Structure 1
Amino acid sequence: MTGATGFIGAHFVERALAAGHEVIGLYRSNGPKHRADIERLTARGARLHRGDILKPESFADALRGVDCVCHFAAAFRESGADEAYFERMNVKGTTNVVKAAVAAGVKRFVHCGTAGIYGQRVAGTIDEQTPIRPWNSYERSKLAADERVRTLASEAGMEYVILRPTAVYGPRDERLLKLFRSVAKGRFPLFGTGDGRRHMIYVTDLADAFLRACTTPLAPNRELIVAGPKAVPLREMLQTIARAANRSAFGPCLPLGPMLALAAVVEDTCKVLKIKPPIYRRRMDFYLNDAAFDSRQAQRLLGWQPKVDLAEGFAATLGALRQKRPTATLAQAYVAVSLIALLAGDY
């Protein structure tokens, strides 16, 4: 598997080891941020190797003799990254891994896509037949990566499975760190009405779906949406986090329009100054998104069910965060703008 020390990847390693599988994991960085994960997973029996998906020679040997490759490594919505960056990391990188798997005689390739390719504001319920409407550079690159997996695997006669998860959360997730901490302090601002639906999935449920995709006979050559038990309005989601944190309220309710204008000004200014913007247009999508998903096809073909509801998952996530000391962010280096970024969160 690739991305062994990433948020989803590390949980997958733990799930696969617990099920008795031999796991060979690839990771790109062995810096302080990832060292603890490397040591923890290695102690549990994973065989981890350093490699770069843009350099096939760094990982090709590790694929020899494996039955299935599970590909998690990807660029994920980094602020300031252009189309070429996502194309290079997500399309070229995925292509390299698929080709290496074919050359090594791997039987099945399981790819982590994204349910975001169906659109971020869609009426009704999204399933695998819903028209695809990628919203940004990240989603366009993931869709292109899906196509490379499908084409290269089919040409080589290698089985493939593409799972498209909805928003993932759980312990060790740094992407929603500020959201949970701000709600736990009663300081998270809701810009707008909060009526847009959020459909999240707990990370251990997702790891289980991926493990089943690696082994289940009915899974090959499918593209499946993987979602949590239910979608809820953003306001209800924030209220559920607040209750898990024993807070009576998540924070103030504020108008959305002025914040959208501010995000645009800050992003454009930082682009001119060639610095990373602490707040930008895509971050504000958090308040605008509205989508619910149907994962019954994945449940049927994988023999899988999401088990963790939002109340239980949020409580576990908050419990893990309480054991972690908050760290300073780059946004805090900017005086007035950083205060707004802290309120808006880092999504």
Structure 2
Amino acid sequence: MNDDPVHEGRPVVALTGATGFIGHALRTHLMAAGYRVRALYRPRRGRVMQCADGLKWVAGDLADRDALAELVKGADAVIHCAGSVRGASRADFDRVNEAGVVDIVRAAENEPSVRRFLLISSLAAREAQLSDYAGSKRRGELALQAGAQRMTWTIIRPPAVYGPGDKEMLPMFRGMARGVAAIPGDGNGRFSMIHVADLASAVVAWLDSGRGVGATYELDDGHGGYDWPTVLGTAARVLRGGAPIRRLAIPVPVLRFVGRTNLMAARVFGYAPMLSPGKVREVTHADWSADSHAFSQDTGWRPAISFDRGLAETLGLSPQAVTGVPS
């Protein structure tokens, strides 16, 4: 981060998870909004972090107390975005999603300049009983509430986040572009989504407003909750010029079998699976609808990117070139 007078006086935000999909968008939006950013990253051989005005990289991880102390030194606010979405056991998730929160909260509490703390959690925390991941995100929220004594805190629970650079939802969208959509279970559930740029702008709105003390907010793109016919109808229009998309229903027993098999293999070979029995319970849960009304009312934020426009951007299409997609 440059220390020249041009950057003096600009608020400093300490950011974890800064190299991930969401973290990259947060970093970009924060700097564009005039904040100086200190960003935590894991050093590894051959890794060179790109420098920019108003940005300072801090090498370390959530278990490195010295790195966390350097990260938060002189910061006005901390945004904790780092998290683990893959694991073979509860301990795999808790190590990052709970203990990591404890460590960064402790570091922030010990830095007098830090007045505010934002935890980017997950809508999964609403249903903590479903999986080790969901439970770990809820335990992380509780760790923040217990550990934040001097500083004020806010929690944001985003739903499924997508956009350019996303690797989790991209295979599903590409399948839709080819005319096939794999639907987990009976396909009768509802779910919310949000474009990563809208999530990042919500964080900036939180910083700018100074509101949300002690609040836990859900976010969405303003739609309130999608069903599969709506998603597939939009995808058919945006990605296939109106050509239909065939639904490929994956029965829950098949998903459970694959989840159990993945988990056993992961424990034998030492990798972190994405599809586990807990993840199956998550993706077949009936209601992942969110409502961002409370957050909008408190901060003035409004989502700007509709699903059709966001889908086009995610697949690298020009929104203006797709019939019916607003620019």
> How does the TM-score come out when normalised to structure 2?
0.82
Amino acid across the alignment from 2:133: Y
Deviation at 1:292, TM superposition (A): 1.5
Cα shift readout 1:297-318 (whole Å, capped 9, x = no counterpart): 1111111111111111111111
Amino acid across the alignment from 1:236: T
Residues 1:46 and 1:222: Cα distance change in structure 2 (over 3 Å): same
Paired residue for 2:158, among 159, 165, 180?
165
1:174 is the counterpart of 2:174: no
- Aligned-CA RMSD value: 2.5
1:116 is the counterpart of 2:109: no
Name the structure 2 match of 1:22: 36
Name the structure 2 match of 1:290: 287
User: Sequence identity of aligned pairs in percent?
Assistant: 28
What are structure 2's unaligned runs of at least 5 residues? 1-14, 319-327
Once the two structures are overlaid, the 10-residue window that deviates more, 188-197 or 48-57, is 188-197
CA contact (8 A) 2:39 2:56 kept: yes
Cα shift readout 1:230-253 (whole Å, capped 9, x = no counterpart): 111023223323332226233343
Structure holding more strand per residue: 2
Amino acid across the alignment from 1:220: V
CA contact (8 A) 1:3 1:28 kept: no
Residues 1:19 and 1:99: Cα distance change in structure 2 (over 3 Å): same
Residues 1:83 and 1:265: Cα distance change in structure 2 (over 3 Å): closer
Looking at structure 2, the residues matched to 255 and 221 of structure 1 have their Cα atoms a distance apart, in angstroms, of 40
1:55 is the counterpart of 2:49: no
Deviation at 1:283, TM superposition (A): 4.6
Name the structure 1 match of 2:102: 95
Cα shift readout 1:172-197 (whole Å, capped 9, x = no counterpart): 11111211222222233335442211
What are structure 1's unaligned runs of at least 5 residues? 120-132, 322-347
Paired residue for 1:223, among 216, 219, 238?
216
Query: When the two structures are aligned, how many residues end up with a matched partner?
Result: 299
1:249 is the counterpart of 2:244: yes
Structure holding more helix per residue: 1
Looking at structure 1, the residues matched to 75 and 220 of structure 2 have their Cα atoms a distance apart, in angstroms, of 28
Name the structure 2 match of 1:137: 132
Paired residue for 2:233, among 229, 234, 239?
239
Name the structure 2 match of 1:281: 277
Looking at structure 1, the residues matched to 184 and 133 of structure 2 have their Cα atoms a distance apart, in angstroms, of 24
Deviation at 1:261, TM superposition (A): 5.0
Aligned positions of 1:31-50 closer than 5 A: 38-39=49-50, 42-43=51-52, 45-50=54-59
Residues 1:255 and 1:169: Cα distance change in structure 2 (over 3 Å): closer
CA contact (8 A) 2:78 2:116 kept: yes
CA contact (8 A) 1:189 1:250 kept: no
CA contact (8 A) 2:164 2:314 kept: yes
Residues 1:75 and 1:56: Cα distance change in structure 2 (over 3 Å): same
Name the structure 2 match of 1:336: none
Amino acid across the alignment from 1:224: Y
